[in-house]
Structure 1
Amino acid sequence: MPNAKKVLYLLTVLKIILPFLLQHSYYQPHRDEFLYLAEGQHLSWGYMEVPPLLSFFAWLTHCFGGSLFWIKIWPALFGGLTFFLAGRIVLMLGGRSLALFLTFLPFATQFLRLNFLFQPGFLEVFCWTLCAFTLLNYILSERNSWLYFFGISAALAILSKYTSIFYLASLLIALLFTPYRKIFLNRHLYFAGLLALVIIAPNIYWQYMHRFPVFTHMKELQETQLQFVSRKEFLLGQLKNNTLVIYLPLAAFLFMFTVKGKPFRIFGIAYVLLISYMAWMHAKAYYVLGVYPILHAIGAYYIETLTARRLRAIPYVLAGLTCALAIYVLPLIMPVMKPEQLAGYYKRSGLQKNGFKWEDLKQHPLPQDFADMFGWKETVLKTAAAYKTIPPADRPYTVIYCPSYAFAGALNFYGPALGLPKALSTNASFLFWMPDRYNVKHLLLVAHNIPDENDPVFRQFSTGTMMDSLNNPLARENGIRIMLYEDADPRINHIIETTVAKEKAKFTRTGR
């Protein structure tokens, strides 16, 4: 066992540093990362799109200087902690080094990108695994302290991503189908639930005071994205996400039918319940990634156990096949080359000759996540060049506006070093940070679509000139334009103030 513990620590460290070794230095932060980094500069108990937990780590990132390393260290670190929890489950079962290595394989493949993007997903997967870990420890030991740890884990899961509610509900419902339903007669479960409620109460209050923007966001997500995800696509996505290690969850389900696997059946039942509900809701495949680490751990242990006396070569053959396939598909998982090289590799290798479907339902040369990771700095440099053409005396009366939170975030990330003022946007949580008063003479617009002559704001300017645009065909935001609008009518300030106040009022309770 001591040797197995050393292996666990070694693999945990490797998990943390691995994505840093694989991602090509060409790439910049992902479009969504700019939003979450901005939230770290406006700490709150809630935001338009996500719960507040991620913003704390964004705040820490800014405290440490805001470099790309500090952006990426948090998902990498929590990826390592997630593997550590899965490894602890292996050791609890009596597994050894081979089972730990098998458990590591999905973390070195399908979870690589998740654990290098500063997005809520890495926290959600960690918290789901922590929930499973604490609940399992209670089942095995019946120590009430584990229920309180479960309550804290559940609260953190909800504060990382609201979809965690569905996983927690699946776990609790699954308990009803097992002998462990007696947990509902334990008053400590309800005390733990009360503790969880106390932890998330500030976020609930924030949602209430802002008219529950989470429901507005979910409705928009359903209308613009989820309705185009078929149930078949979601279910096939589960196979696709586990292609390299499909033997692990399959082995886990087999183990649950054994006597020793009895305490683990709740996780199998919870899986079926969650997958069924998410398919019905037209969810995206990656929404349920957090349910897999415990299944991988259980499956790895069972494979090691089954082959301990006979067929000892099988785990090594499976691991070898996974590693060989992982090398082949690695450029799909991580951006290990420059965009042009990746696009060429996909065609030559046959991985995706016809392109990748994005949210616009069209085929493109790169995966959408990768195309979202460059073009930002170039656009900021072009915006800074346009800003410098404005006479210095007029710059205090110049506003930079972006209809997209991504460009507002990118400008505020790179812009200060170039002398740019804070960019504004009414998109996503940026709406809450819009000023109430304005004194606008000029405006720099960074957008794909240029307002027509009847737009109530832009018609107030005497001239509009296109200063530059992004020319990078592989970037998702290719063609973004930088427009300079000059010499505004003073009436524009009242129009902007009224429009912003009206939009903010949709998310503010009267008398607040």
Structure 2
Amino acid sequence: MNLTKSVWPFILLLALIKFALPFFLQHPVYELHRDEFLYLEQGRHLAWGYMEVPPMLSWLSYLTHVFGGSFFWVKFWPSLFGAITLIVTCAMVLEMGGKLFAVVVAGLCIMFTAYLRLHFLFQANFLEVFWWALSAYFIIRYINSKQIKYLYWIGFSFGCAWLSKNSVSFFIIGFAVALLLTQYRSLLLNKHLYGAGLLALVIALPNLIWQYNHNWPLLHHMEELRETQLKFLSPVDFLMGQILMYFTAFFIWVMGLIWLFTAKSKPYRMLAWIYLTVIVLLIVSSGKNYYSMGLYPMLFAAGSVALQQWTTVKLKSLRWVTVAVILFLAGFTLPMAMPLWEPDKLAAFYQKRDVEGTGMLQWEDQQNHSLPQDFADYLGWKEITEKTEKLYQSLPQVDKDSTVVYCRHYGLAGALKYYGKDAQFKSKVISDNGSFLHWIPNEFGFKHLIFVGRRMPGADDEVFQHFEKVTLIDSVTYKHSRQLGDKVIFFENVDSIGSKMAAEGLKQMKQEFNRKKL
């Protein structure tokens, strides 16, 4: 990276602040996010793919468990990659001709926009943003140097991005469209471009083979998302999200997009076409607003350079006004970006400021609640774990040995495995939701079942109709939790028909995602 000695210390300082800041901004009452429990469990079942995401996050999960699995190590990886993403963004600034001021502005954009929360969540999105940003950096390096090696670095980044999240296919399509629409279309006849594509394919191949052998669960997952979430989204909501997610500095990325289309930045116009292509693809496919987050580091870099170039001599004072505005808006929006206070205080703040009108309190059920859905997803896990494990530990040993703990969704199952204290108890936890389905032993017997989920199983859940006794034990009472009302129910003495139905149902569900080997 072309970092001068004078700028390097500032970039490192910004990166250090970026890494450490979220640890001080989240109130300790909040637990892990429901999705984090799933991804942590993937680290105990290493494979080349999962129903939800490719394998790269599971490698970091494995390391998290090696280091003890504490809250710090869970959050270490998104914080680290957030800091590195900031460095890559600042490097793009320098490559496009920016100086120290532009570097500072770009760093603030990565620190105090939607990336503040993103880079404290152990989810594949922080890897996606990093690899997209790195791809953009190598594109700029190629533009500046015309060195063939950077085509291969682009291919390497695309391949690694696929192993972190399959959505890089949008960026790759955007890259292809940008080649066609710019002076770089001659690259389409360059054998090294296809060599770079082959490198990306080789890196992604293990996951592609895994997808094939499991009947493309990626497609099943996307179909489920469309049926349960994406169908509620509108193009207007998506486009508004592109402003609101970066509210503290949205004018910087807007300036960046405009600047990329100016004559002075013509060599980098490819980045603008990549952005517009991906945005159009996401609108057409009803993507969520955060699916585009990997695009904005390059726009913030471009916008910072534009601001520097447009505020020379007489307008130079506007530079520091811009920095002040970003910091002011960051302070104003901080309670919406991070769970700064305990839930009651935060909910009262939202009510006083009428945050409901912004849509930030609307969950996937399209209803407004006391906290943003992400924040509500941090609560109630310890409570449900303690109540479930208390029931399990109250059983005689002979009943413990013949009891399974069945959870309706992966968040509950993962939370019980993460917060549970007894190894035998944790080994009894199963779920047929998401990747947990594949981790249920093919052969397992049980006499009793502890059910953990929102609703009492109905008549259509036939297996549950074959128990001798059913007792409602407890439920989640944390009022701000998304798990409020989740129940712990004890089902005793299953009959032979119920046992057989459970085994056959499990076999059938697994077969749907496993291609028969010839």
| TM-score, scaled relative to structure 2 | 0.96
- Cα separation, partners in 2 of 1:280 and 1:455, compared to 1, 3 Å: closer
Task: Check the 8 A contact 1:113/1:333 in 2, yes or no.
Answer: yes
Shift of 1:417: 4.2
SS in 1 for 2:438: helix
Pick closer, same or farther for the CA change 1:417–1:319 going to 2, 3 Å: farther
**Structure 2 CA distance for partners of 1:397 and 1:261, relative to 1, 3 Å:** same
With 311-320 and 352-361 compared, the bigger mean Cα shift is at 352-361
Q: Deviations over 1:71-118 (max 9, x none)?
A: 101011101111101101112233222111110122222210000000
Measured in 2, the distance between the counterparts of 1:151 and 1:205 equals 19
Structure 2 residue 433 is matched with structure 1 residue 401:
no
Out of 343, 347, 361, which is 2:347 matched to? Answer: 343
Preserved contact between residue 151 and residue 192 of structure 1 (Cα < 8 Å): yes
Give the equivalent residue in structure 1 for 2:163: 159
Q: What corresponds to 2:392 in structure 1?
A: 387
- 1:466 pairs with 2:469: no
Residue 92 of structure 2 aligns with an amino acid whose one-letter code is I
1:30 counterpart = 2:33: yes
Are positions 1:276 and 2:280 aligned together?
A: yes
| Contact 1:170 1:270 (8 Å CA) reproduced | yes
Q: Which residue of 1 aligns with 2:371?
A: 366
Q: How many residues align?
A: 512
Contact 2:135 2:158 in 1 (8 A): yes
What is the CA distance between 1:253 and its match in structure 2?
2.6
The match for 1:445 is 451
The 8 Å contact of residues 379 and 478 in structure 2, kept in 1 or not, is answered as no
Q: 1:37, CA displacement in angstroms?
A: 0.6
Deviation at 1:12, TM superposition (A): 1.0
- Secondary structure of the residue aligned to 1:352 is helix
Partner SS, residue 180 of structure 1 = helix
Deviations 1:34-91 (A, max 9, x none): 1111111100001111111111111111111100111101011101111101101112
The 1:131/1:355 distance shift into structure 2, 3 A limit, reads: closer
- Other-structure match for 1:428: 434
Q: Of 500, 505, 509, which aligns to 2:515?
A: 509
Q: How far apart, in 2, do the equivalents of 1:491 and 1:272 lie?
A: 57
Deviation at 1:454, TM superposition (A): 6.1
Equivalent-residue separation in structure 2 for 1:496 and 1:382 (angstroms): 25
State the SS of the aligned residue for 1:168. Answer: helix
**1:189 pairs with 2:209:** no
User: In the alignment, what sits opposite 2:499?
Assistant: 493
Change (3 A) 1:99 1:393: same
Q: Quick check: 1:308 aligned with 2:293?
A: no
Letter in 2 for 1:177: L
The answer to whether residue 14 in structure 2 is matched with residue 8 in structure 1 is: no
Counterpart secondary structure, 1:475: coil
The reply to whether residue 330 of structure 1 matches residue 319 of structure 2 is: no
Is residue 253 from structure 1 mapped to residue 277 from structure 2 by the alignment?
A: no
Q: Find the aligned partners of 1:487 and 1:416 in 2 and give their Cα distance.
A: 26
Q: Per the alignment, do residues 225 and 72 of structure 1 end up closer, same or farther by CA in structure 2, a change over 3 Å counting?
A: same
Within a 5 Å distance, the mapping from 1:18-97 to structure 2 comes to 18-97=21-100
Amino acid in the other structure paired with 2:413: A
Q: Matched residues, percent identical?
A: 40
Contact between 2:454 and 2:486, CA under 8 Å: does it hold in 1? Answer: yes
Indicate which of 167, 180, 183 corresponds to 2:184.
180
Q: For 2:77 and 2:287, locate their aligned partners in 1 and report how far apart those are by CA, in whole Å.
A: 26
CA contact (8 A) 1:98 1:304 kept: yes
Q: Is this contact kept in 2: 1:437–1:493, CA < 8 A?
A: no
Following superposition of structure 1 onto structure 2, how do residues 198-237 of structure 1 map, counting pairs within 5 Å?
198-237=202-241
Maintained 8 Å contact 1:440/1:492:
no
Farther-moved stretch of structure 1 (489-498 vs 264-273): 489-498
1:137 and 1:311 mapped to 2: Cα distance? 30
Matched letter for residue 106 of structure 2:
T
Shift of 1:224: 0.8
Question: What is the distance in 2 between the residues matched to 1:159 and 1:268?
Answer: 25
Q: Is the 8 A contact 2:355 2:361 kept in 1?
A: no
Is the Cα–Cα contact under 8 Å of residues 438 and 496 in structure 1 kept in the other structure? no
Partner secondary structure for residue 2 of structure 1:
coil
Where 2:450 maps in the other structure, the secondary structure is strand
Deviations 1:467-498 (A, max 9, x none): 11111121001000000111222443322211
* Kept in 2: contact 1:457–1:496 (CA 8 A): yes
TM value normalised by structure 1: 0.97
The amino acid of 2:199's aligned partner reads L
Please tell me whether the aligned partners of residues 47 and 55 of structure 2 are also in contact (alpha carbons under 8 angstroms).
yes
Instruction: Determine helix, strand or coil for the equivalent of 1:373.
Output: coil
Quickly say closer, same or farther: Cα 1:435–1:98, change in 2 above 3 A: same
Asked if 1 retains the 8 angstrom alpha-carbon contact of 2:356 and 2:368, the reply is no
Displacement of 1:262 = 1.1
The separation in 1 between residues aligned to 2:360 and 2:459, in whole angstroms, is 37
Residue 318 of structure 1 deviates from its aligned partner by: 1.5
1:2/1:309 Cα in 2 relative to 1: closer, same or farther (>3 Å)?
farther
- 2:375 and 2:30 map into 1 onto residues whose CA distance is 8
Whether the 8 Å contact between 2:356 and 2:362 is mirrored in structure 1 is no
1:507, 1:355 → 2: CA distance? 36
Question: In 2, distance between residues paired with 1:232 and 1:355?
Answer: 15
Give the Cα separation in 1 of the matches to 2:352 and 2:239.
28
Asked if 1:294 corresponds to 2:298, the answer is: yes
CA distance in 2, matches of 1:77, 1:156: 17
Structure 2 counterparts to residues 410-429 of structure 1, below 5 A: 410-417=415-422, 420-422=425-427, 423-429=429-435
Aligned partner letter, 2:454: H
Counterpart AA for 2:270: I
Q: Contact 2:95–2:141 at 8 Å: present in 1 too?
A: no
Q: In 1, Cα distance between the equivalents of 2:108 and 2:289?
A: 20
Which of 164, 174, 177 aligns to 1:170? It is: 174
Q: Which amino acid is 1:104 matched to?
A: G
Q: Find out whether 1:477 has 2:480 as its counterpart.
A: no
Which residues of structure 1 form unaligned runs of 5+?
none
Q: Which runs of no fewer than 5 residues in structure 2 stay unpaired?
A: none
Q: 1:136 aligns with which of 140, 165, 176?
A: 140
SS at match of 1:24: coil
Between the aligned partners of 1:295 and 1:236, the Cα distance in structure 2 is: 17
Amino acid at match of 1:359: E
- In structure 2, what is the Cα distance between the partners aligned to 1:263 and 1:285? 28
- Relative to structure 1, the CA distance from residue 6 to residue 450 in structure 2 (aligned partners, 3 Å threshold; closer, same or farther) is same
Residues 161-202 of structure 1: CA distance to partner in whole angstroms, max 9, x if unpaired? 111101111012111111111111211111111111111111
8 A Cα contact 1:464 1:486, kept in partner: yes
